[in-house]
Structure 1
Amino acid sequence: MEETNITIQHPLRNEASEFSTMRGGHVALRAADYAGIVKWYQEKLDFRLIQEWPFGDLQLAFLAPPNDDNFCVEILGGGQPLPQPDYTDLNESLQPAGYHHFCLEVLNIDQTVAELRRRGVNVLGEPFDFPTISKRLAFFADPYGNLIELASRLK
């Protein structure tokens, strides 16, 4: 395999911006089965339950990746939400407008995908290289239709 070294040039940071303290924090996912979605993220992805609380007739929680305290998935569970489409193909999932996925960075896509499959997770296709952004990518879905991207740096 040929060595690929792509440098992505970011614009200068804007420390003078009124929004200069803005950081990513969490993504929220909606599911009817609160206990089921929390259990899935814990068992399939080893996420940690950080906090739980009620909100009206819903139960909410923050779940964090096994070794990351800076990003959470917020679960909004209960009630009767409308179902998500059940995608089996990444290209099909790109058709509707609006929210598409959130991304988790990993060191080795192929090892991570192999472990997800071993745990019975629905992976959409095979991992693929995307040299334009110097990443290797893969996509999978939780059982409630929420798409998740995995990304690692191309070597």
Structure 2
Amino acid sequence: MSLPQCLIAIVLAGTSLVTYAKGGHTSTATADKPGVTLPAKNHSSPFASMRGGHVGLRVADYKAAKQWYVEKLDFRVVKEWPFNGQHLAYIAPATDDRFFIELLGDGERPTPKPTFKDLNASAQVAGYHHLCLDVADVDKALATLRKRGVKVVAEPFLVPDIKRRLAFIEDPWGNVIELAEEVK
């Protein structure tokens, strides 16, 4: 069984939500994303128990990818295991136990991702584009990442509709990572 190159999913467990009523309509906004209002939950759905699982990131060099995420982004290795001739691991940000990336590495060499000259060019390809990591201060995060030799794909910019300042970085294999700071 071969695994797709860009299999991405996110582990999100226990996200705090705030429910409020507005004009007779109950709505939910995430505590972490105050600029986003969610529609009412559909408890009658046959998929009502569905939750986010994890993001799987196919990498050609398991050890190098694990090392990069640990050394550059301070991720922690949660669990490692072999599967089908590959090495797999759950990794998590320094203090977040709700978000995992699953590294799927080694085994048959995957097809490399295309490279792009900038963020806008990368948005022209259908499918997975990026994962987002919330940070307290985008500028401080970028300063640290630059010192660690991380490639910055897009400098910080404001998106008022979601009350966020965003910047984008890239890992050595072309995977785009958004850094998001809440603007109050």
Q: TM exceeds 0.5?
A: yes
Work out whether residues 25 and 71 of structure 1, in 8 Å CA contact, stay in contact via their aligned partners in 2.
Answer: no
Q: Where does 1:4-23 land on structure 2 (aligned, <5 Å)?
A: 7-23=35-51
Cα distance between partner residues in 1 of 2:72 and 2:129: 21
Deviation at 1:8, TM superposition (A): 3.5
Q: Distance in 2 between matches of 1:23 and 1:151?
A: 22
1:118 aligns with 2:134: no
Number of residues paired by the alignment? 150
The normalised TM-score by structure 2 is 0.77
In structure 2, do the counterparts of structure 1 residues 68 and 7 end up closer, same or farther at CA, with 3 Å as the change threshold?
closer
Amino acid across the alignment from 2:145: L
Moved over 4 A (4+): none
Unaligned runs of 5+ in 1: 1-5
Residue 167 of structure 2 corresponds to residue 138 of structure 1:
yes
* From 55, 61, 67, the counterpart of 2:89: 61
CA contact (8 A) 1:34 1:76 kept: yes
Deviations 1:95-154 (A, max 9, x none): 111111111111111111111111100011211001121111111111111111111211
Give how far 1:37 is off. Answer: 0.1
Structure 2 residue runs of 5 or longer lacking an equivalent are: 1-33
Residues 7 and 147 (structure 1), Cα distance of their counterparts in 2 relative to 1, 3 Å cut: closer
Residue 150 (structure 1) aligned with residue 150 (structure 2): no
Identity of aligned residues (%): 53
| Alignment partners' CA distance in 1, 2:64 and 2:164 | 32
How far apart, in 2, do the equivalents of 1:145 and 1:7 lie? 29
Q: Which has the higher contact order (CA 8 A, sep 6+)?
A: 1
TM-score normalised over the length of structure 1: 0.90
